[in-house]
Amino acid sequence: MALTRCGWLLLSATFLSAGAEISITPQPAKPAEGDNVTLAVQGLAGELLAYNWYAGPTLSLTYLVVSYIVSTGDETPGPAHSGREAVRPDGSLDIWGVVPGHSGTYILQTLNRQFQTEVGYGHLQVYEILTQPVVMANDTALVERRDTLRLTCSSPSPAEVRWFFNGNALPIAVRLGLSPDGRVLTRHGIRREEAGAYQCEVWNPVSVSRSEPVNLTVYFGPERVAILQDSTTRTGCTIKVDFNTSLTLWCASRSCPEPEYMWAFNGRALKNGQDHLNISSMTAAQEGTYTCIAKNPKTLLSGSASVVVKLSAAAVAMTIVPVPARPMEGQDVTLTVLGYPKDLLVYAWYRGPASEPNRLLSQLPSGTWIAGPAHTGREAGFPNCSLLVQKLNVTDAGRYTLKTVTLQGKTETLEVELQVAPLEQ
């Protein structure tokens, strides 16, 4: 064995043991990058001449960090010296401003005055100060039960990963969709309850960093399409409305995004793209089936609901409206009846008071009408009780009377005054 100022070279020696007594402990035990670390040595025995520190798994010159002569305090850097290492007189190794590259196995080799060597082993793990990870998604808008969600936690550090959903740790059931390294989260047939904010967090014993949230939207529906009136579901029902009153029907459904709406009346599309339909003044012409169709532009699914709207028979107020309102001599006029009884049995029109000599015509239960004593050949009746008078002359002006009889025997009489404007001479 020879000792020089440049270090010491092992020519021949006897090994006492292989780490049987020497222990090496990092201080601090879990250092972060940038910390100053001491590999503290305990268990050294006898009067020692020199130390060799290796940063590697074997006693190889390639891994030699530094040699130290105890008597002089001289240090000689080896091939693995990074410029940050120094040996203490007690054999401990100081490393200033450690980086992750300093992690690994360290070996201390000692030489005593009997030219015997002893080695001790230790391990140093330097933890990174983690940078913020990034969550990458295959898509952030998916269709329920059709699409697959795939989230990847991107981080340059080999740290542990955990996932968060809406600020809370993901439940175990969802975590079953994780890759073995925890960095890829997969959910087949995504569901609406899984829409929300996803984050991943990387961590080690000295550092933790969480990503910015990635917001996931899940499209679904429309489902449970329904027609409402005054917040009450009326789908499949018959809605009875008083004559000349208004009615608003609302179409509701469970859908994301909000569906596109279309309304139909008795199977015929209406020009209405809103979620509600207004019937401003209810008449017999507006009786029928109203259908709302909801279509989701993302899922391409649709649904519908229908209601039947009818006039309330007990509440209908029968009225007579001349059309045109002020006809001229020579024109035709229709005395239009609004709100006629739905349980009508027969009706009769009179020119003046409701007496037999004044009867113009009557409609029988069969639906046909017959002329009365006052019929001039220019009058015709309709099933809705309306009366047509053709080729008016000024003598047609005056009072007209309608008399109706229902199946229950209820009689109602209504009068209207017709005005006829003479032709200008």
Domain final residue pick, 124, 156, 175: 124
Residues 237, 193 share a domain: no
Place of tokens 């910015």: 212
Q: What does DSSP say about strands 14-18 and 214-229: parallel, antiparallel, or unpaired?
A: unpaired
Query: Does 129 reside within a domain?
Result: no
Q: What does DSSP say about strands 116-124 and 196-204: parallel, antiparallel, or unpaired?
A: unpaired
Residue 146 pLDDT exceeds 50: yes
Instruction: Say if CB 104 and CB 55 are below 8 A apart.
Output: yes
Query: Does 11 reside within a domain?
Result: no
The H or E element containing residue 423 is none
How many distinct helices (H) and strands (E) make up the chain? 1, 38
Q: Which of 411, 398, 408, 285 is nearest to 348 (CA)?
A: 411
Domain final residue pick, 104, 124, 144: 124
For the chain, the domain total comes to: 4
Handedness of CA 44, 48, 53, 57 (dihedral sign): negative
pLDDT at 285: 82
Question: What are residue 187's phi and psi, to 5 degrees?
Answer: -135, 110
What is the mean pLDDT of the segment spanning 73-80? Answer: 96
Residues 378, 286 share a domain: no
3-state secondary structure of 118: strand
Question: What DSSP designation does 173 have?
Answer: H
Query: Does 10 reside within a domain?
Result: no
Residue 10 pLDDT exceeds 80: no
Instruction: Say if CB 308 and CB 289 are below 8 A apart.
Output: yes
Phi-psi region of 91 (alpha: psi -120 to 50; beta: other; left: phi over 0): left
Residues 30, 115 share a domain: yes
What is the mean pLDDT of the segment spanning 400-412? Answer: 91
Which CATH number belongs to the domain containing residue 202 in this structure? 2.60.40.10
Residue 46 pLDDT exceeds 80: yes
Query: Does 152 reside within a domain?
Result: yes
DSSP H helices, 148-279, are 172-175
Residues 300, 240 share a domain: yes
% pLDDT > 90, the chain: 72
Query: Does 7 reside within a domain?
Result: no
Domain final residue pick, 267, 286, 311: 311
pLDDT at 222: 96
Residues 303, 351 share a domain: no
Residues 58 and 260: their CA atoms lie apart, in Å, by 73
Residue 233 pLDDT exceeds 80: no
Residue 9 pLDDT exceeds 60: no
Of the two residues 352 and 17, the one the predictor is more confident about is: 352
Question: Residues with Cβ < 8 Å from 411, sequence gap 6 or more?
Answer: 403, 404, 405
Residues 304, 340 share a domain: no
Query: Does 160 reside within a domain?
Result: yes
Q: Which CA distances in Å does 172 have to 166, 175, 196, 229?
A: 15, 5, 17, 44
Residue 172 pLDDT exceeds 80: no
Instruction: Say if CB 198 and CB 188 are below 8 A apart.
Output: no
Query: Does 425 reside within a domain?
Result: no
Average pLDDT, the chain: 89
Residues 352, 275 share a domain: no
Residue 71 in tokens: 């008597």
Of the two residues 316 and 26, the one the predictor is more confident about is: 26
**Residue-range definition of the domain harbouring residue 379:** 319-418
Residues 202 and 103: their CA atoms lie apart, in Å, by 19
Residues 325, 306 share a domain: no
3-state secondary structure of 394: helix
Of the two residues 86 and 21, the one the predictor is more confident about is: 86
Residues 120, 31 share a domain: yes
Residues 106 and 121: their CA atoms lie apart, in Å, by 6
Query: Does 13 reside within a domain?
Result: no
Render the burial of 25-37: b for 16+ CB within 10 Å, e for the rest: ebeeeebbbebeb
Of the two residues 232 and 410, the one the predictor is more confident about is: 410
